[in-house]
Amino acid sequence: MRIPLSCLIFMAACSNEANHIGNPLLLPFSGLATVFENSVYNKRRGRVEVFVKSNHPALIADITAGGGGHISEAMNIARIPASDQPTRLIQMKSDIALYKANPGALVTALMVYRG
């Protein structure tokens, strides 16, 4: 009785149905992929954060003006697609009070807008 039950449990674990874990046989590979993706994200976020904190007044001026070199460079560092940048600039302009008071919020917005 134990062997058929064990086989049934293992077969259910390997189903093609959606679940939050994924295929258990691929967990080591997905774990490595996650580590790589996180390191790439953290490196990009670090670059965005340094740029925003080093150029905060100029970025605020560019956002208020509706565009400029500094905000364009920040969006490029964050890898926001060029086609999305005008829309994102409008969104940032509507939240300018938050970004004036909190450079970290601008960093977060830039990273989130990348998707």
CA–CA gap between residue 110 and residue 106 (Å, rounded):
6
Report the C-alpha gap between 107 and 90 in whole angstroms: 16
pLDDT band at 41; cut points 50, 70, 90: confident
Q: Tokens at residue 91, please? A: 């969104």
Residue 61 CA to residue 22 CA, distance in Å, equals 46
**Half-sphere exposure (Cβ direction) of 76: Cα atoms closer than 13 Å:** 6
Model pLDDT, residue 79: 94
Instruction: Assess whether pLDDT exceeds 80 at residue 13.
Output: no
Q: What is the model's pLDDT at position 69?
A: 95
CA–CA gap between residue 3 and residue 26 (Å, rounded): 24
Q: What is the DSSP letter of 84?
A: T
pLDDT of residue 76: 95
Six-digit token string for 100? 């004036």
pTM: 0.72
